[in-house]
Amino acid sequence: MKTILTQEEILRYSRHLMVPEVGLKGQEKLKLASVLIVGAGGLGSPISLYLVAAGIGKIGLVDFDVVDSSNLQRQILHGNSQIDKLKVDSAKLRLNDLNPLVEIQTFSDYISAENIEVIARQYDIIVDGSDNFATRYLLNDYCVLNQKPYIYGSIFRFEGQISVFDATKGPCYRCIFPTPPPPGLIPTCGEGGVFGVLPGTIGTIQASEVLKIILGIGEPAYGKLFLYDALDLSLQEIKLRKNPACSICGEHPTILNLKDTAVFCAVHEAVEMPIPMDWQLDPITLSMRIKSGEKICLIDVRDPVEREIVEIPGSVNITYERIISQMDELDKTTPLIFICRNGIRSERVVRRLRSQGFNNAYNLKGGTNGWVNSIDSSQMNY
**Segment holding 155, helix H or strand E:** strand 150-156
First to last CA, the chain: 58
Tell me the CA distances in angstroms from 81 to 40, 94, 107, 196, one per residue in order. 16, 12, 21, 20
Sheet holding 280-281, edge to edge: 280-281, 361-364, 336-339, 297-300, 316-317
Q: Reply yes or no on whether 249 is catalytic.
A: no
Q: Could you tell me the sign of the dihedral formed by the alpha carbons of 61, 67, 70, 73, in that order?
A: positive
Q: Which of 143, 172, 175, 340 is catalytic?
A: 340
Helices (H), 21-176: 23-32, 44-54, 87-98, 116-120, 133-146, 173-176
187-191 long-range contacts, CB within 8 A, separation 24+: 187/156, 187/345, 188/131, 188/132, 189/42, 189/131, 189/155, 189/156, 191/340, 191/341, 191/344, 191/345
Residues 6+ apart with CB under 8 A from 268: 133, 179, 180
Residues β-bridged to residue 251: none
- Of 189, 246, 249, 265, which residue is the catalytic one? 189
Rounded to whole angstroms, how far apart are CA atoms 40 and 45? 6
Residue type, 153: G
Q: How many residues does the chain have?
A: 382
Active site residue 189: yes
Of 47, 49, 53, residue with least CA distance to 30: 53
The single-letter code of the amino acid at 346 is: S
For residue 268, count CB atoms less than 10 angstroms from its CB and return exposed for 0-12, middle for 13-18, buried for 19 or more: middle
Q: Report the C-alpha gap between 36 and 55 in whole angstroms.
A: 14
* Residues involved in catalysis: 189, 340
